Chain A
């Protein structure tokens, strides 16, 4: 997509890195122009009018001008800063995880209204929900689907038969479920409990509200998290950095509860 010389767009700031003495390169996610890098000049100076509007996870309106190697931010105005997320490590760690996944899954300069709104809805849900992990699981399942990696959860990918209500297997390499016979003896697939399969099917077919109404016990939640994470790591061929911080907060019992 050729970008206009000067244009205005809504964007969510996915990440930023330092450039030179006082500048930053921001990775912006926009509905119409997809993911793009933009230079924000002088935002590390304390006198910058822009830096507060361009923090990661902020939804903002930006004016972009075509530069030599990348877009340059000519103006910006924060629309939603998600202060509730920033003030709570539980919510923040999950929001950064969602932003990292979007950054890794979506290509540059490809229009994607659906995934943009998925991320925006996820940030809004994280700002409100008591169960931040369920918000993430729903997000992961939708993102996989938007990116063309919808996991198979109805049939066995080996023999094509409908799955029986017994402990089946989830295979990241195969991209979904295997029955006990087909999974037998191979190393990759992990046991998938009957309840985990049910919840994963609901995540895939239901609405967010269906999921929010469900009370998922912690152990079941962690089983589902492991399956989806292993599939995501397989698809991306790398770890998701922000996942380590979520784990860390779980280990430090101090940080266990979400603050309301």
Chain B
């Protein structure tokens, strides 16, 4: 799987190696991407290289919500139409994209850039938690929605934040958890089923 590529010349081997470092890219995909770039017009390669450089040069973290942005504060934080009394806390910038796609949330965000992972040595101080607490000092915010992932580390982070924020007198909510769309009841584990029952809602029909 990891045998050296005897036919690949220096720069080619180097590009394969760089692609291989990317998350989710195996050795085969790295080779395919490299040969794609080799065959592509020079302008396309130029655009790719420039996009890579720009992302490191021009992208910063928003000083308010910690999301990645090219303007500070970011477009969401600067948007006067958004509800400034609600903050939705997420693990990663990509989670904001997913929530924005729903078009059903109009409040602000805060990106933690990770979750509490005791076994990896990641605690509250390694996350953007202090920045969140600083934001909450202004009395504008009334509700914090904790939208960390429903797994062990996401839940631990939500519990930690929940205790901290409730002590400050804030309303703290969690995204409803239950059966994922497309799941069969019979395959659900106990914890998911119990939560689905807890979170049941009245419906008409």
The answer to whether A57 and B194 have CB atoms under 8 Å apart is: no
Q: Is the CB of B119 within 8 A of A96?
A: yes
Q: What is the number of contacts between chain A and chain B, taking CB atoms within 8 Å?
A: 81
Contact of A83 among B23, B187, B191 (CB under 8 A): B191
Residue A15 is within 8 A (CB to CB) of chain B in the complex: yes
Q: Is the CB of A245 within 8 A of B123?
A: yes
* Chain A to chain B contacts (Cβ below 8 Å), 8 pairs: A15-B119, A20-B26, A21-B24, A78-B189, A81-B189, A86-B152, A86-B156, A89-B163
A47→B183 contact, CB < 8 A: yes
In the assembled complex, A194 has its CB within 8 A of some CB on chain B: no
Asked if B192 is an interface residue, CB under 8 A from chain A, the answer is yes
Q: Is A169 an interface residue (CB 8 A)?
A: no
Bits for A154-181, please: 1 = Cβ < 8 Å to B, else 0. 0000000000000000000000000000
Choose among B156, B160, B182, B189 the residue that contacts A53 (Cβ–Cβ < 8 A): B189
A22 to chain B, nearest CB (A): 9
A242 on interface, CB distance cutoff 8 Å:
yes
Per-residue contact bits, chain A 94-138, to B (CB 8 Å; 1 contact, 0 not): 001101100100000000000000000000000000000000000
- Asked whether, in the complex, the Cβ of B191 is within 8 Å of the Cβ of A52, the reply is yes
Report whether B121 and A92 are in contact in the complex, using a CB–CB cutoff of 8 Å: no
Contacts of B191 in A (CB 8 A): 52, 55, 81, 83, 86
Bitwise interface map of B from 169 to 205 toward A, beta carbon under 8 Å scored 1, else 0: 0000000000011111001111110100000000000
Whether, in the assembled complex, B167 has its beta carbon less than 8 Å from a beta carbon of chain A, the answer is yes
**Of the candidates B156, B182, B183, which one forms a contact with A92 in the assembled complex, judged by CB atoms under 8 Å apart?**
B156
Cβ-neighbour of B116 out of A86, A103, A245 (below 8 A): A245
Given A49-B183, A254-B163; A56-B152 close (CB under 8 Å): yes
Q: Does B159 contact A (CB under 8 A)?
A: yes
- The count of chain B contact residues (Cβ–Cβ below 8 Å) is 33
Q: How far is the CB of A148 from chain B (nearest CB, A)?
A: 24
Q: Which chain B positions have C-beta within 8 A of A81?
A: 189-191
- Across the interface, which residues of B come within 8 angstroms of A207, CB to CB? none
Task: Determine whether B4 belongs to the interface, using a CB cutoff of 8 Å to chain A.
Answer: no
Query: Can you name the residue of chain B whose Cβ is closest to the Cβ of A52?
Result: B189
A20 in contact with B152 (CB, 8 Å): no
Contacting residue for A47 out of B116, B152, B167, B180, CB 8 A: B180
Question: A residues within 8 A CB of B183?
Answer: 47, 49
**Does A241 sit within 8 A of B, measured CB to CB?**
yes
The yes or no answer to B124 lying at the interface (CB within 8 A) is yes
Contact of A254 among B24, B121, B164, B194 (CB under 8 A): B164
Determine whether A248 belongs to the interface, using a CB cutoff of 8 Å to chain B. Answer: yes
CA distance A103 to B119 in the complex (A): 10
Taking CB atoms and an 8 Å cut-off, the chain B residues in 17-60 that contact chain A are 23-24, 26
- What residues of chain B have their CB less than 8 Å away from a CB belonging to chain A? 1, 23-24, 26, 116, 118-121, 123-125, 151-152, 155-156, 159-160, 163-164, 167, 180-184, 187-192, 194
Instruction: Find out whether the CB atom of B190 lies under 8 angstroms from the CB atom of A51.
Output: no
Complexed CA–CA distance, A52 and B187 (Å): 10
The answer on a CB contact under 8 Å between A87 and B118 is no
Query: How distant is the Cα of A252 from the Cα of B189 in the complex, in angstroms?
Result: 33
Complex Cα–Cα for A172 and B152 (A): 34
A254 to B167, CA, bound (A): 8
A226 → chain B closest CB, angstroms? 19
Shortest CB-to-CB span from B198 to chain A, Å, is 12
User: How far is A49 from B182 in the complex, measured between Cα atoms in Å?
Assistant: 10
* A89 CA / B191 CA spacing, docked (Å): 17
Q: Chain A, 227-260, contact with B by CB distance < 8 Å: what is the 0/1 string? A: 0000000000001011011101000101100000
A175 vs B195: C-alpha distance when bound (angstroms): 48
The docked-state distance in angstroms from the alpha carbon of A239 to that of B123 is 15
Report A-chain residues with C-beta under 8 Å of the C-beta of B189. 52-53, 78, 81
Which of B119, B163, B180 interacts with A242 by CB under 8 Å? B119
Q: B118 is contacted by which of A20, A52, A78, A97 (Cβ under 8 Å)?
A: A97
